[in-house]
Chains A and B, each alone.
Chain A
Amino acid sequence: MNVQISSRQLHPVSPAGARALVRIVIVGHVDHGKSTLIGRLLHEVEGLPDGKLDALKAVSARRGMPFEWSFLLDALQTERDQGITIDTSQIRLRTPARDIVLIDAPGHAEFLRNMITGAAQADAAVLIVDATEGVRDQTRRHGYLLHLLGVRQVIVVINKMDRVAFDAGKFREIESEIAAHLAGLGLTPSAIIPISARNGDGVARHTSSTAWYRGPTVLAALDAFVPAHPPHDLATRLPVQAVYKFDDRRIIAGRVASGRIRVGDDVLIMPAGKPARIRSIEAWPERESSQTPRVAIAGQSVGITLDRDIFVERGDVVCASTSPAASARRLRARVFWLHQRPLAVGGHITVRIGTAESTAVVAAIEDAVDPGLLASDGAEVIAQNHVGEIELALSRPIAIDPYTADPISTTRAWPVSPVAPCARSSRSSARLPAPAAGSRGCAPSSPRTVRIWRSSPPKLSAD
C-alpha cells in the first residue's frame, strides 16, 4: 500500500531528496498501544489509501471485533487472530515538514530480536507507555536498547489517558519515572506527551481533555526530528566488501563508512597497515576523463583503484593515513545477548565488524544485567535478553575503532553468532553448521546475533 499524500492541501511535487526523510521506530511494552498509534497517525495525516479505512473496518467486522487500527501494520493472520505484533513493519507518511518512515516494533519479550531489527534502522524513537500500567519491564528494556542502538532522539508518549480520566497527577507520576530511567541511560526525551491513540487526543491536535498540558502534539514532535547521516567529519573509513578483477583494473569495492575518499589521498590498509595512494574512483557508466569522479563521501558505494599492487581482501579497511583505525586481537565490549543459551566464559563465537569476520573466545565476563529490571543480578553468565561486558580473544587481527570515537557509525557494530558446542568439530569454519530439517536442537536454524560495542578505551594486546 502506498501512502503518498498528507493533508487536503496538496504539496507540490518535490525532487527526490528535497524533503528530509526521518525513520522513526515506535517501541514500548506489549499492548501499550504502538500499532494503534501508528494507525491513528496515518488517519490524522490522511495518509491512508482510498478504501483502506473501509477495508479495515470490514476486516474487523468480519472477525467480530471492534475496529482495530493495529490491523494496518499487523497484516499477518496470526497477528490479527491474537491481537499482537510479531514482527517489525514499516509504513510511510508525509507530515507538513517531513517524509516519515514509521517502524512498528513488537513489544513482547519473545520478539525482542524483531524489535531490534526495526529499531536499528531508526533515526529517532517514540517510546509509548500505558497510563493504566505505567513503566513496565519491556519499557525499560526498550529504552536500554534504544540507547545501545545509538538512537538519540526520543519522545515519550503516555497513552490510554482516556482510561485514567485524563488525570494530570497520574501523568506526572509516570512522566517523572520514565524521565529518570531515560536520564540514567543518557537519553533526554524532547517531549513527554499525554494522548489517547484510539480517540485521537494529543495525536494531531490538543483537546480540552489535556488543557493542563502545554507541550507539542505527537505530530509536531515527529516533525522536529532530524535524519541521521553517516559521519562525514570523522576519519575516513572504507570497509572493503570485495575486490573485482573483471578486466585489467583491480577495483576495490565498498561503502564509505565515514569521512571521504579523494583521488590522490594517502591511505593505510588496516589491519596490516599497508600504505598506498588512491589512483582512481571508478564509475559505471564510464565517462570521459574530465568527468570521472574525484571524491566519494560517507554513505556512498564506490570502487577505487590504488597506485600499487598490494593484496587487499574483504574485511580490510581503507583508512586515512593520518588517522587510521587500530588493529586488535583482543577486545572489550558491551553485549546484548539474544540466544537462548547463555554466554559463558570459554564460549566460542563469531565476531563481525564491518565486513571483517573472526572467530573468538570469551575470555572474561563482567556485570551481567537484565535491563528490564532495576537492579543488577550479578550473574556470571549473560542470559538471553541480558546485557554484560565481556573480553574477547580473536583468532585474527581486525581493524577497529573505539565506540567512544564514533558511537553511531556502522563499522563499530559487531553482531556475534554463537557456534553451538555440538558443532565444535567444525570450528575451523566460521559458518554455523546446519541442523537436520525440523530439529531445533543444539545448532539453531539461524544464528542468534548480538550487538557488541566497545564501552571504554580499548585494551589492546600487542600482536
Chain B
Amino acid sequence: MRVDIKKETAIASGQRSAAGPVEATQLDRLDELESQSIFILREAFARLKRIAILWSLGKDSNVMIWLARKAFFGRVPCPAMHVDTGKKFPEMYAFRDRYAKEWQLDLLIEPCPPIDAIDPTLPPAARSAARKTEGLKLALAKHGFDGLVAGIRRDEEATRAKERVFSPRGAEGLWDVHDQPPEFWNHFNASPPPGAHLRVHPILHWTESDIWAYTKREGIPIIPLYLARDGKRYRSLGDADITFPVESNAGTIDEIIAELAATRIPERAGRAMDHESEDAFERLRKAGYL
C-alpha cells in the first residue's frame, strides 16, 4: 500500500517553513469530497438495517468501494453486489474477481433476467439496460436489503441531477420523482416504508474529473478499457453491446484529466440507452434503474 504524506500535504495548504508545515484551515477539494462521501457511507451503515454497495466495476463504483474502505478503516462491513447482465466486457470480470479477493470484499454476484422478460415497449438499448433494474429487484427480494449504495453522480445526466443523497424507492423499486422528501445539510431520511428501500448516493456531488483526480491520487486500480488504444477509449462502461468508445489518445490518467478539461463531449455520449428517445432514460430511472 502506498504510504505517503498526502494527508499532511492536503491539509497543510499553507506554506511549509523551516520550522515545519503550517497548520491549514481548509481542506482541498478532493479531501472535502472524500470527507463528505465517508460521512454519507457511515450514516447509511449506522441508520439502515442491511445495506449493500452496488459494484458495477466502473471507475465510479471503484472509487466508492475505496471510500468505503476508508470510511470503515479497511474492513467494508457490508456486501459488494455485482448485478450481472452477463454482457460486460471480459476485462471487467477479471478485474472483479481479482480485487474482490485482494480487498477482502464480501462479493455477491446476482444475475439479471433475460431480455424477453423485459418491457418490450422500451427502445432496444434501454430495454437491454432495464435487465439490470429487474436483476436489482430480484436481488433486493432475495437478500432483504433496505439500502443500496450506488455510485451515480449529478453531472452524468439530467435526471440524475434531480436526485437526493438518500433517495427512497417504493415497493416495486419505483422512483417517485414528483414527491421526493426534502433533504438538507447532513440530515438524511433513513426510514423506507416496509418492502421499499433507500438508494444512497455517496458520490452524487463528484464530477467526472474529480473521480479521475482521486483515482490518480489514491492509486485506485482501473480497468484498462478507460485508456486509449488505437485512437479510441471508453469514457463510460456499460454492457459491451450498447456501449461505444470515443475518439481519444489519452493513454494515462493524467492525459484523461487534461482531455476532460478541454472536451465538450458529454460523458455518456457513447451510451446508446440515453439517446433513443427524449424520455427513455427518465422511464428507466423511474422504474428503478440507477
Known A-B contacts A232-B25, A437-B193; A241 and B74 likewise in contact (beta carbons under 8 Å):
no
A117 touches B183 (CB 8 A): yes
| Residue numbers in A under 8 Å from B171 (CB-CB) | 437
Set A116, A233, A445: member contacting B193, Cβ < 8 A: A445
Is the C-beta of A253 less than 8 angstroms from some C-beta in chain B?
Answer: yes
A414's nearest neighbour on chain B, judged by CB, is B187
B159-195 contact mask (Cβ, 8 Å, vs A): 1 or 0:
1011010001001000001111111111101011111
Residue with the highest number of chain A CB atoms closer than 10 Å, among B11, B35, B70: B35
B184 touches A451 (CB 8 A): yes
B72 touches A244 (CB 8 A): yes
A295 touches B11 (CB 8 A): yes
| Residue numbers in B under 8 Å from A114 (CB-CB) | 180, 182
B73 touches A303 (CB 8 A): yes
Within 8 A of B (CB), among A14-73: 15-17, 21, 48-50, 52, 59, 62, 72-73
Is the C-beta of B69 less than 8 angstroms from some C-beta in chain A?
Answer: yes
Is the C-beta of A89 less than 8 angstroms from some C-beta in chain B?
Answer: yes
Set A21, A76, A413: member contacting B159, Cβ < 8 A: A76
Is the C-beta of B71 less than 8 angstroms from some C-beta in chain A?
Answer: yes
Min CB gap A165→B, angstroms: 35
Known A-B contacts A2-B207, A59-B278, A297-B24; A90 and B161 likewise in contact (beta carbons under 8 Å):
yes
Give the number of residues in A that approach B within 8 Å (Cβ atoms).
82
Within 8 A of B (CB), among A243-265: 244, 246, 251, 253-255, 260
Within 8 A of A (CB), among B3-35: 3, 5, 7-8, 11, 13, 23-32, 34-35
Give the number of residues in B that approach A within 8 Å (Cβ atoms).
83
B266 touches A284 (CB 8 A): no
| Residue numbers in B under 8 Å from A232 (CB-CB) | 25-26
| Residue numbers in A under 8 Å from B154 (CB-CB) | 89-90
Report the separation of the CA atoms of residues A72 and B161 in the bound assembly, to the nearest whole angstrom: 11
Report the separation of the CA atoms of residues A287 and B265 in the bound assembly, to the nearest whole angstrom: 40
A77 touches B282 (CB 8 A): yes
A277-304 contact mask (Cβ, 8 Å, vs B): 1 or 0:
0000011111110010101010111010
Min CB gap A245→B, angstroms: 11
B3 touches A285 (CB 8 A): yes
Known A-B contacts A232-B25, A314-B46; A113 and B182 likewise in contact (beta carbons under 8 Å):
yes
A410's nearest neighbour on chain B, judged by CB, is B185
A112's nearest neighbour on chain B, judged by CB, is B182
Is the C-beta of A120 less than 8 angstroms from some C-beta in chain B?
Answer: yes
B164's nearest neighbour on chain A, judged by CB, is A117
Set B28, B168, B260: member contacting A4, Cβ < 8 A: B260
Known A-B contacts A2-B260, A4-B263, A241-B39; A246 and B73 likewise in contact (beta carbons under 8 Å):
yes
A282 touches B73 (CB 8 A): yes
A241 touches B42 (CB 8 A): yes
Min CB gap B24→A, angstroms: 7
B184 touches A5 (CB 8 A): no
Partner-binding segment picked from A131-139, A188-196, A428-436: A428-436
Is the C-beta of B258 less than 8 angstroms from some C-beta in chain A?
Answer: yes
| Residue numbers in B under 8 Å from A77 (CB-CB) | 278-279, 282
Within 8 A of B (CB), among A435-454: 435, 437, 445-449, 451
Q: Can you show 27 pairs from A to B with CB atoms below 8 A apart? A: A2-B263, A15-B213, A16-B209, A75-B162, A77-B278, A77-B279, A89-B154, A89-B161, A117-B164, A117-B184, A120-B184, A229-B26, A232-B26, A233-B25, A246-B73, A253-B42, A291-B5, A297-B26, A301-B39, A301-B71, A314-B46, A352-B187, A431-B191, A437-B195, A447-B181, A447-B189, A447-B191
What residues of chain B have their CB less than 8 Å away from a CB belonging to chain A?
Answer: 1-3, 5, 7-8, 11, 13, 23-32, 34-36, 38-39, 42-43, 45-46, 69-75, 77, 154-159, 161-162, 164, 168, 171, 177-187, 189, 191-195, 207-210, 213-214, 217, 257-258, 260-267, 278-279, 282
Task: Give 3 nearest A-B pairs by CB, closest first.
Answer: A17-B28, A75-B158, A120-B184
What residues of chain A have their CB less than 8 Å away from a CB belonging to chain B?
Answer: 1-5, 10-11, 13, 15-17, 21, 48-50, 52, 59, 62, 72-73, 75-78, 86-92, 113-114, 116-117, 120-121, 149, 229, 232-233, 241-242, 244, 246, 251, 253-255, 260, 282-288, 291, 293, 295, 297, 299-301, 303, 314, 338, 352, 410, 413, 415, 431-432, 434-435, 437, 445-449, 451
